[in-house]
């Protein structure tokens, strides 16, 4: 164990600058995931602290205000549940990045006589170290954005910084959780990668994802309808648990839908760039979904909350609630967009590093840099456009019965906001343009 | 073809690839500046239409640099590379990219196939990148599978092919656009002797059949034996240029 850790440290120090790029990408991912998670937890804590009706306590406030305070906490929990899964997914992406790009080095170590256990320790040490550096950077990032978060107005007032600064213990717990997620994700990735002395198997035809995923999603949808809908006043915990199950189910069925769409697109793709993009989507639908799935969900949340705003609030509390729903949805969308853009940017950059020899071969054979960029952009744009269009369409169709009461301005704002979020995620592909340029340099 | 044919003729400017007094010095552009020893020190060479030429030499002798300069990948510090009446060395980057796509084909040591595409799509890709419709590109790609002994492997991914099969797919990809010259850099470097012979047989037969010239960089005499001529390079200069009866 000591020998493995010592060897890992020596190899780390000796790593070439080129080999450090995946490490930097992993650290950036862990940092963004940690910062986003801390902002979510801080927001939730602030709403709980503001809630005038702690469970089981009577209050002298009016029933309306007490109920609305409780509603804010429930909504904060729902928003946090929506955000936690993409944030954890980003943590998983970072951990896989820490593992995946080490296939050749691990195989070389096995050839040199390292045992499987030593290789595992070294790999997980790498993932844990990157997670710790990333998480600590994330804490700094969180503290840096707090003044901006504090300016958000909810319930008619902005936050005090003291409401949003988490106690040291909670902050340390979040940092610890990120490191644990990295180790668990890393160990699970490592288990899937056969680290033999001859390295990992070459890419073969991808296995189809099981249609069971669709059945699981249908069951979760049914649970939502059958469990939550009949309840007049469902417990907050019940809502959060069932919502979490629905989100997990959507995450299960999403990659299957993306896979089917990718296969259909590959069959009909008319150009080289579209064909490459479609094949990559069909090959790795899970990673494609990781980039776009959360955004689809956020579009649905933003759609319902922003379009359902009260036109003519009767009381100041209703006015607050109406405006705050829009603000909360927007904050959720912004955080998910940042997390999704980071995830997409990092996955795309890692893919270029993985395939730099193929990029060079294509360039040598006369493929222009523009074609390479177009294929990468399409790889993100196709599922992104599909997900956003389906999510936005879903919201607008469900809102059709209330068409006469809908504010046209709000509909336009919803569509524009969704498009901007999609554009930001798509723009994250641009971050790795210089890597493509370097990889495809022929001379 | 005689030794004199190879050495003395000036080459046909419309059909042959002609190199004149090629000089390549790394770290120094045409405008001058600091430089190391030349990787190429005045190479003259003619690659005749439909003929194959092996470029041999020890590591660091300049054989890969020569291939890269001939293929328009590197711009030489001095001299000319004439192809169909034009000096490749004077073309812009964009023109050389188009030239590599339309007129030249490439085979590398590891095949360099795209892992996410089935074999048939890997072969059709250069045509699609050049604007050919998918159905036409795939149809033309399919015609190359039988001559290369790859019938039935069209839908396999590169990861599902043996080294020799993957290299034959790479040959199909290099030839699908009907190039004038195919450049192969150690095309059998990762293969055993038997598979290597098979790959070279396919490579030389198919290039000859399509009328393309072939330039093969290799350090393996068995590979060179498949070519019409052998050029030996040392310290950036051609030290021997011989013709032979190809296998």
Residues of B with Cβ-Cβ distance to A270 under 8 angstroms? 133-134
Query: Chain A window 189-218: which residues touch B at a Cβ cutoff of 8 Å?
Result: 201-205
Give the model's pLDDT for residue B2: 42
How close A293 comes to chain B (CA, Å)? 23
How close A411 comes to chain B (CA, Å)? 40
Rounded to whole angstroms, the Cα distance separating B228 from B244 reads 5
Cα atoms found within 13 Å of the Cα of residue A225, Cβ hemisphere only: 6
Contact check, Cβ <8 Å, B134/A358: no
What is the average per-residue pLDDT within B3-17?
A: 59
Residues of B with Cβ-Cβ distance to A442 under 8 angstroms? 73
Task: Give the pLDDT band of residue B13 (cuts 50, 70, 90).
Answer: low
3-state secondary structure chain B: CCHHHHHHCCCCCCCCEEEEEEEECCCCECCECCCCCCCEEEEEEEECCCCEEEEECCCCCCHHHHHHHHCCCCCCCEEEEEECCEEHHHCCHHHHHHHHHHCEEEECCCCCCCCCCCHHHHHHHHHHHCCCCHHHHHHHHHCCCCCCCCCCCCCCCHHHCCHHHHHHHHHHHHHCCCCCEEEEECCCCCCCHHHHHHHHHHHHHHHHHHCCEEEEECCCHHHHCCCCEEEEEECCEEEEEEECCCC
Does A318 touch chain B if contact means CB atoms closer than 8 Å?
no
Residues of A with Cβ-Cβ distance to B75 under 8 angstroms? 443
Does B91 touch chain A if contact means CB atoms closer than 8 Å?
no
Nearest to A304 by CA among A161, A406, A171, A151: A406
Residues of A with Cβ-Cβ distance to B115 under 8 angstroms? 202-203, 355, 358
Q: How far is CA A363 from CA A148, A355, A418, in A?
A: 45, 12, 36
Token pair, residue B195, equals 């598979």
How close B46 comes to chain A (CA, Å)? 22
Contact check, Cβ <8 Å, A365/B115: no
ipTM for the assembly: 0.80
Does B126 touch chain A if contact means CB atoms closer than 8 Å?
yes
Is this prediction's pTM over 0.80? no
Find the CB nearest B97 among A283, A355, A368.
Answer: A368
Rounded to whole angstroms, the Cα distance separating A47 from A68 reads 11
Find the CB nearest A365 among B74, B100, B133.
Answer: B100
Best of B115, B119, B173 to disrupt the A interface (most A CBs within 10 Å) is B115
Calculate helix-pair angle for A316-354, A408-427, nearest 10 degrees: 20
How close A439 comes to chain B (CA, Å)? 13
How close A359 comes to chain B (CA, Å)? 9
Contact check, Cβ <8 Å, B160/A357: no
Beta bridge partners of B229: B53, B243
Could you list the pLDDT tens digit for every one of the 443 residues in chain A? 566 666 666 666 655 555 667 778 888 989 999 999 999 999 999 988 887 654 544 444 455 666 677 788 888 888 888 788 788 888 877 777 766 656 666 667 766 777 777 778 887 888 889 899 999 999 999 999 999 999 998 878 888 898 899 999 999 999 999 999 888 887 876 765 544 444 333 445 567 778 888 888 778 777 777 776 676 666 667 767 776 777 777 778 888 888 998 999 999 999 888 898 899 888 888 878 877 887 887 887 777 777 666 556 667 667 777 788 888 888 888 898 898 888 888 888 877 877 787 788 788 877 888 888 888 888 888 888 888 888 887 777 766 666 666 677 777 888 888 889 889 988 988 888 888 888 887 76
- Per-residue pLDDT of B119-160, as tens digits, reads 999 999 889 888 899 999 999 999 999 999 999 999 999 889
**Residue of chain B minimizing CA distance to A206:** B116
Nearest to B70 by CA among B185, B160, B240: B185
Rounded to whole angstroms, the Cα distance separating B188 from B170 reads 12
Find the CB nearest B128 among A202, A271, A368.
Answer: A271
Find the CB nearest B117 among A279, A361, A365.
Answer: A279
Residues of B with Cβ-Cβ distance to A198 under 8 angstroms? none
Residues of A with Cβ-Cβ distance to B105 under 8 angstroms? 365
Q: Which stretch of A177-186, B1-10, B115-124, B224-233 has the lowest confidence by average pLDDT?
A: B1-10
Contact check, Cβ <8 Å, A364/B73: yes
Residues of B with Cβ-Cβ distance to A276 under 8 angstroms? 114, 116-117
How close B172 comes to chain A (CA, Å)? 13
Task: Give the pLDDT band of residue B181 (cuts 50, 70, 90).
Answer: very high
pLDDT at B45 over 50: yes
Rounded to whole angstroms, the Cα distance separating A288 from A254 reads 9
Token pair, residue B92, equals 């812009």
How close A207 comes to chain B (CA, Å)? 13
How close B136 comes to chain A (CA, Å)? 11
Give the model's pLDDT for residue A58: 45
Residues A178 and A135: beta-carbon distance below 8 Å: yes
Does B117 touch chain A if contact means CB atoms closer than 8 Å?
yes
**Residue of chain B minimizing CA distance to A357:** B112
**Residue of chain B minimizing CA distance to A372:** B129
């Amino acid at each position: 164990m000591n020998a493995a850790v010592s060897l890992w440290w020596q190899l780390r120090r000796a790593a070439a600058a080129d080999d450090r790029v995946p490490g930097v990408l992993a650290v950036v991912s862990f940092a963004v995931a940690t910062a986003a998670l801390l902002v979510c937890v801080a927001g939730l804590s602030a709403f709980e602290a503001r809630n005038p009706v702690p469970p089981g306590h009577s209050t002298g406030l009016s029933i309306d205000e007490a109920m609305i305070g409780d509603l804010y906490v429930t909504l904060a929990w729902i928003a946090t549940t929506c955000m936690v899964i993409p944030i954890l997914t980003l943590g998983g992406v970072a951990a896989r990045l820490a593992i995946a790009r080490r296939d050749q080095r691990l195989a070389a170590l096995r050839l040199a006589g390292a045992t499987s256990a030593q290789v595992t320790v070294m790999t997980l040490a790498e993932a844990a170290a990157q997670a710790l550096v990333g998480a600590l950077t994330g804490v700094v990032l969180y503290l840096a954005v707090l003044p901006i978060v504090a300016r958000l107005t909810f319930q008619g007032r902005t936050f005090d910084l003291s409401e949003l600064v988490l106690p040291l213990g909670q902050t340390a717990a979040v940092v610890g959780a990120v490191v644990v997620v990295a180790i668990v994700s890393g160990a699970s990735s490592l288990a899937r990668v056969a680290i033999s002395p001859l390295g990992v198997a070459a890419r073969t035809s991808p296995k189809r994802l099981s249609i069971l995923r669709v059945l699981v999603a249908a069951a979760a949808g049914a649970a939502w309808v059958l469990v939550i809908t009949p309840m007049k006043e469902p417990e907050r915990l019940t809502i959060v648990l069932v919502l979490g199950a629905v989100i997990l189910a959507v995450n299960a069925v999403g990659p299957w839908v993306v896979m089917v769409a990718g296969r259909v697109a590959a069959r009909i793709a008319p150009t080289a760039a579209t064909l490459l993009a479609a094949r990559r989507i069909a090959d790795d639908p899970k990673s494609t979904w990781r980039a776009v799935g959360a955004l689809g969900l956020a579009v649905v949340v933003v759609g319902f909350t922003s379009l359902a705003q009260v036109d003519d609030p009767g009381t100041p509390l209703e006015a607050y609630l109406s405006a705050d729903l829009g603000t909360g949805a927007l904050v959720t969308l912004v955080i998910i967009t940042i997390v999704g853009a980071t995830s997409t940017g990092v996955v795309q950059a890692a893919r270029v590093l993985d395939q730099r020899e193929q990029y060079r071969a294509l360039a040598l054979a006369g493929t222009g840099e523009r074609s390479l960029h177009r294929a990468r952009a399409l790889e993100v744009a196709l599922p992104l456009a599909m997900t956003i269009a389906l999510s936005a369409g879903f919201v607008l169709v469900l809102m059709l019965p209330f068409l006469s009461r809908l504010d046209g301005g709000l509909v336009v704002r919803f569509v524009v906001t969704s498009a901007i979020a999609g554009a930001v995620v798509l723009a994250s592909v641009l971050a790795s343009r210089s890597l493509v340029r370097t990889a495809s340099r022929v001379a | 073809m005689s030794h004199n044919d190879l050495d003395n003729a000036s080459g046909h400017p419309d059909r042959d690839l002609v190199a004149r007094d090629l000089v390549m010095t790394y770290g120094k552009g045409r405008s001058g500046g600091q430089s190391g020893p030349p990787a190429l020190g005045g190479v003259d060479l003619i690659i005749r239409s439909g003929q194959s030429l092996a470029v041999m030499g020890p590591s660091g002798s300049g054989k890969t640099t020569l291939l890269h300069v001939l293929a328009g990948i590197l711009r030489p510090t001095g001299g000319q590379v004439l192809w169909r009446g034009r000096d490749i060395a004077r073309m812009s980057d964009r023109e050389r990219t188009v030239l590599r796509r339309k007129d030249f084909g490439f085979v590398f040591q590891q095949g360099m196939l795209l892992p996410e595409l089935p074999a048939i799509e890997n072969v059709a890709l250069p045509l699609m990148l050049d604007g050919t419709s998918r159905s036409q590109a795939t149809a033309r790609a399919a015609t190359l599978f039988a001559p290369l002994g790859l019938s039935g492997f069209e839908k396999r991914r590169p990861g599902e092919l043996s080294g020799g099969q993957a290299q034959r797919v790479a040959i199909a990809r290099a030839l699908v656009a009907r190039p004038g010259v195919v450049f192969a850099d150690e095309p059998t470097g990762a293969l055993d002797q038997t598979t290597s012979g098979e790959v070279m047989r396919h490579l030389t037969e198919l290039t000859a059949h399509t009328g393309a010239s072939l330039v093969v960089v290799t350090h393996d005499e068995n590979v060179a034996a498949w070519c019409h001529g052998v050029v030996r390079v040392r310290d950036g200069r051609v030290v021997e240029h011989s013709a032979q009866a190809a296998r």
